[in-house]
Amino acid sequence: MSLSEKYNKITPEILEELKSIVGPDNMATDESAIEAYSCDESGKVYARMPDVVVKPENTQQVSNVMRLANREMIPVTARGAGSGIAGGAIPIKGGILLSLERMNRVLEIDRINRVAVVEPGVVTNDLCQMVLKEGLMYAGYPMSTETSFIGGNIATNAGGAKVIRYGSTRRHVLGIEVVLPTGDVLELGGRIRKQTWGYDLLQIIIGSEGTLGVVTKAILNLEPAPGDTVTFLAPFPSIEEAVEAVAAILRAGVVLMACEFMDQLSTKCATQYHNTTFPMQDEAKAFLIIQVEGQTPEQLDMYIEKVGETCLEHGAMEVFTAESSTESRNIWKVRESFAEAVRAVDPNASLSGDMVVPMPKISEMVKAVGETARKYDITIALGGHIADGNIHPLFFKPDRIPLEEWPDFVENIVDELIGVAISLGGVGSGEHGVGFLKKHTFMKYEAKSKLEVMRGIKRAFDPNGILNPGKLFD
Ligand SMILES: Cc1cc2nc3c(=O)[nH]c(=O)nc-3n(C[C@H](O)[C@H](O)[C@H](O)COP(=O)(O)OP(=O)(O)OC[C@H]3O[C@@H](n4cnc5c(N)ncnc54)[C@H](O)[C@@H]3O)c2cc1C
């Protein structure tokens, strides 16, 4: 039986029941109101309409929606801000789109335990700014921080610029409340920082891309707010030299807060987007954007000297230091928006490249991207989180490829590049996830035995397969 055949259609009676669960104001079926929920940032070309959008306001409502969907065999797709790039939040089997946007409260900032308790619809940057006022830091920092939700970050195990120092979202989540597809509510983890207490279900939910349960609350670790930081901008004549410089900075014992790179094309798109320029952007083939933090003024001075020296020793054409927090913010804005900037140049550009390889293999991976661009005669802009081996090739759609052929064309290229990443000891996604865009590639390269274990886990959480069907391996 095909997936779509096993699901039932939403009847007027089911719609009435849904309305009584979430209230008439929190449900929509009009095409104009639900269209915005048909795709994420992977692009409109992948859009699929849900039958109904519901916006529950509390855990009980989420649980009641899931119970109803499970009883009636209706597919449900959870959605955060829809900033995902793997198609994870696209309701590809129709049914119920469950948006967490109304569950957006920061419930508590517990200074003694250094945790924040939040609902899933809190925007990542709002939490960061709120806890900063208390002298604390939430260390999750995807480049989409101003739009993405905490629930989406947990479901994708989001990474970003600060992973080199603080790890990805997984490291910041101490506990969650999760509603299973059956409607049962589980509390996993808590305000504690260690446990050996049975299988760690919390870690299975994190990064499961909304296929095992709906996260309705999270207890997040907070770090002390950082001391003084300095941002550097270093142009290099080649990406290879930039990669060497990063490895040398890490060997020199500098504790990096963040370390990002952009090639010439992505730099030009992003500076143009902000109506600014980076120094030497016509000559430099790559830029490093580095941030260091010093616990003391002496330590900061030492790091400033080491970063500057090491970059110059490894071929940097110059090393610029941001003179103020505004200058630093302006540099980071350029990096944060390089994907948006590429989309501004080409609305059909694909953002789906997210390979991660061991750090010493980055140059080989970058070389493979260049060869691929030549082989397929396409333009690829490149950037990423260089210190953790995570690169984002962004693909411009050539005019000669018709729009309807573009998804297959570009997914084939991404598949090939993922093959290279795997042969170099890496994986196909460092942070965006598998979603449905990389599903075939995931199934092609993953060991059958591993997929079987994953399917067993899926069955245990979601016996009827109603939650986010058509994603990962389904
Ligand atoms: C310009 C740009 C830059 C980006 N930079 C980064 C980056 O640096 N690092 C990074 O990791 N990602 C990045 N992303 C990708 C994206 O922002 C992240 O994947 C983010 O974590 C998605 O959050 P969201 O709230 O938008 O989730 P959505 O896109 O709405 O959903 C993503 C997945 O999570 C599931 N989901 C959402 N909420 C819940 C919930 N409460 N419970 C269960 N499942 C849920 C969905 O079903 C879906 O599978 C970027 C995207 C853009 C457009």
The CB of 89 under 6 Å from ligand 1? The reply is yes
Q: Looking at residue 473, what is its pLDDT? A: 92
Please give the distance, rounded to the nearest whole angstrom, from the Cα atom of residue 156 to the centre of ligand 1: 6
Amino acid, single-letter form, for residue 289: I
Max distance between CA atoms of the chain, in angstroms, equals 71
Residue from 148, 216, 332, 429 whose mutation best tests the ligand 1 pocket (most atoms within 8 A of CB): 148
Instruction: Return the ligand 1 atom nearest residue 205 CA.
Output: 43
| Alpha carbon nearest to ligand 1 atom 52, residue | 144
The CB of 156 under 6 Å from ligand 1? The reply is yes
In three-state secondary structure terms, 44 is helix
Instruction: Return the ligand 1 atom nearest residue 120 CA.
Output: 41
Contact 142, 160 (CB under 8 A): yes
Q: Looking at residue 295, what is its pLDDT? A: 87
Please give the distance, rounded to the nearest whole angstrom, from the Cα atom of residue 84 to the centre of ligand 1: 4
The CB of 169 under 6 Å from ligand 1? The reply is no
The CB of 215 under 6 Å from ligand 1? The reply is yes
Sign of the four-CA dihedral 28, 34, 36, 38: positive
Q: pLDDT tens digit string along 133-150?
A: 999 999 999 999 999 999
Q: Where are the domains of the chain?
A: 3-102, 106-224, 228-340, 346-437
Contact 209, 158 (CB under 8 A): no
CA pair distance 82, 41, nearest whole angstrom: 7
Q: 352's torsion region: left (phi>0), alpha (psi -120 to 50) or beta?
A: alpha
Give the neighbor-by-neighbor strand order of the sheet with 228-236: 320-321, 228-236, 286-294, 256-263, 380-385, 390-395
The CB of 79 under 6 Å from ligand 1? The reply is yes
Q: Looking at residue 4, what is its pLDDT? A: 54
Instruction: Return the ligand 1 atom nearest residue 169 CA.
Output: 11
Residue from 40, 79, 105 whose mutation best tests the ligand 1 pocket (most atoms within 8 A of CB): 79
Q: 271's torsion region: left (phi>0), alpha (psi -120 to 50) or beta?
A: alpha
CA pair distance 72, 466, nearest whole angstrom: 10
The CB of 87 under 6 Å from ligand 1? The reply is no
Q: pLDDT tens digit string along 16-29?
A: 999 999 999 999 99
For the domain covering 346-437, report its CATH number: 3.30.70.2740
Intervals of the chain under pLDDT 50: none
Q: Looking at residue 146, what is its pLDDT? A: 94
Architecture, CATH, for domain 228-340: 2-Layer Sandwich (3.30)
CA-to-CA separations, 95 to 4, 52, 115, 437, in angstroms, rounded: 10, 6, 36, 19
Query: Fold identical between 106-224 and 346-437?
Result: no
CATH of 3-102, one of 2.40.37.10, 3.20.20.10, 3.30.43.10, 3.40.630.30: 3.30.43.10
Strand 106-110 relative to strand 96-99, pairing:
unpaired
Q: Looking at residue 474, what is its pLDDT? A: 87
DSSP symbol at 10: P
- Per the prediction, the chain carries an average pLDDT of 96
CATH of 106-224, one of 3.90.950.20, 1.10.1040.10, 3.40.1010.10, 3.30.465.10: 3.30.465.10
- Look up tokens 């060497």; give the residue: 244
Q: Looking at residue 2, what is its pLDDT? A: 52
